[in-house]
Amino acid sequence: MEHSIIKKAIDKGLLTFNLVDIRNFSDDKHKSVDDEPYGGGAGMVMKPEPIVAAIRSIESEFGTCHKVLLSPRGSLFNNTKAIELSKNRNIILICGRYEGVDERVHLHYVDSIISIGDYIVTGGEIPALAVIEAVSRFVPDVVGKEESVERDSFSSNMLCYPQYTRPRNFEEHDVPEVLLNGNHKLIEEWRKKEALKTTKKYRPDLLNE
């Protein structure tokens, strides 16, 4: 969060972030936030008390927040979800860990559950950063050119068209002639066709959707 577009947005006052240490809300001397699962089994489960106490503390300071739990069971995060989340003034991202989070948190204390993919990572911190990056792009004025966001991959259920820059010829591979002729109508038509071809080649599932 101290680099690039996110850093600039923070400096402009467009975004603010607060990192909350869940252990500060533990109710025992060891600051533990997890315990063994009822019924036995491997691993540890995050306890509900510290999570709920943290949520209530945050909302008492900032007002009502949209509460998101990052978990493998969540709905798959995508561009549409990023746009939805960007419309919330305050968002809490709860980073799951260990063997998971007490079921009562899932059922009673969060507004949505999100997964960034069908694989497991150690904790929810990297997924949280991915969500932050994606959602921030839809906050007005965070990205310099709004057109950049509108033309991003997935904005129309297709991947972005191929992009080229200098040099015009690189190791006998040329930039397509259509991009060099200055005819914007032809360029726009070419880009639409190429976006379709690229999506069909790499992500045909998007076209099925």
Residue 111 annotated as catalytic: no
* List 59, 125, 152, 194, catalytic entry: 152
pLDDT, mean of residues 85-105:
95
pLDDT of residue 157: 80
Q: Is 174 exposed, middle or buried (0-12, 13-18, 19+ CB in 10 A)?
A: exposed
Residue 89 annotated as catalytic: no
What pLDDT digit, counting tens, does each position of 42-88 carry? Answer: 999 999 999 999 999 999 999 999 999 999 999 999 999 999 999 99
**Residue 18 and residue 117 in one domain:** yes
Which of 136, 160, 194 is a domain's end point? 136
Specify the CATH number for the domain of residue 193: 1.10.1270.20
* List 49, 84, 99, 194, catalytic entry: 99
Provide the domain limits for residue 191.
Answer: 151-208
Nearest to 152 by CA among 173, 167, 134, 165: 134
Query: Residue 142 domain-assigned?
Result: no
Using CA atoms, how far apart are residues 99 and 167, in angstroms rounded to an integer? 51
How many independent structural domains does the chain possess?
2
Residue 152 annotated as catalytic: yes
Is a pLDDT exceeding 90 seen at residue 99?
no
Using CA atoms, how far apart are residues 153 and 174, in angstroms rounded to an integer? 24
Is a pLDDT exceeding 90 seen at residue 149?
no
Which of 90, 113, 136 is a domain's end point? 136
Buried-state track 70-88, b at ≥16 Cβ within 10 A, e below 16: bbeebeebebebbeebbee
Which of 74, 107, 136 is a domain's end point? 136
What pLDDT digit, counting tens, does each position of 173-204 carry? Answer: 999 999 999 999 999 999 999 999 999 999 99
Residue 11 annotated as catalytic: no
Q: What is the pTM of this model?
A: 0.87
Nearest to 21 by CA among 35, 7, 33: 33
Categorise residue 198: left if φ over 0, alpha if ψ from -120 to 50, beta otherwise: alpha
**Residue 157 and residue 103 in one domain:** no
